[in-house]
A = this chain, B = another copy of it.
Amino acid sequence: MRTKIHDVARSARVSPTTVSRAFVRPALLRADTLERVLAAAKALDYHPNRAASSLSTGKTGNIGIVVPDLSNPFYPAIVRGAQLRAHQAGYAVLLVDSDEDPDAESSLTHTLAKQADGVIVCAPFASDSQLRRLAQKTAIVLVNRRLGGVAAVLMDVAHGMRQAVSHLHALGHRRCAYLGGPRASWSNRERLRGLHAGIRAKGMTLLEFGPFEPKFDGGLEGAERVIGSGVTAVIAYNDLMALGVLSHFASSGVCVPREISVVGFDDLLFASMSAPPLTTVSMPMEAAGRAAVELLLARLTGDDGGAVNATPSDLELATQLIARGTTAPPPAISSFAGCGAREGAAISRTPAE
Contacts and interface: CB of A to CB of B under 8 A. Distances in A.
Interface string A314-353: 0000000000000000000000000111110011001010
Contacts of A276: 343
Contacts of A80: 70-71, 97
Interface residues on A, range: 35 or more
A84 B99 contact: yes
Contacts of A342: 275, 339-340, 342
Contacts of A244: 273
A115 interface: yes
A273 B342 CA distance: 15
Copies in the complex: 2
A24 interface: no
A257 to B, nearest CB: 12
Residue among A75, A243, A269 with max Cβ neighbours from chain B (10 Å): A269
A106 to B, nearest CB: 15
Interface of A: 47, 49-52, 54-55, 60, 62, 70-71, 73, 75-77, 79-80, 83-84, 87, 92-97, 99, 108, 111-112, 114-115, 216, 243-244, 246-247, 250, 269-270, 272-276, 286, 339-343, 346-347, 350, 352
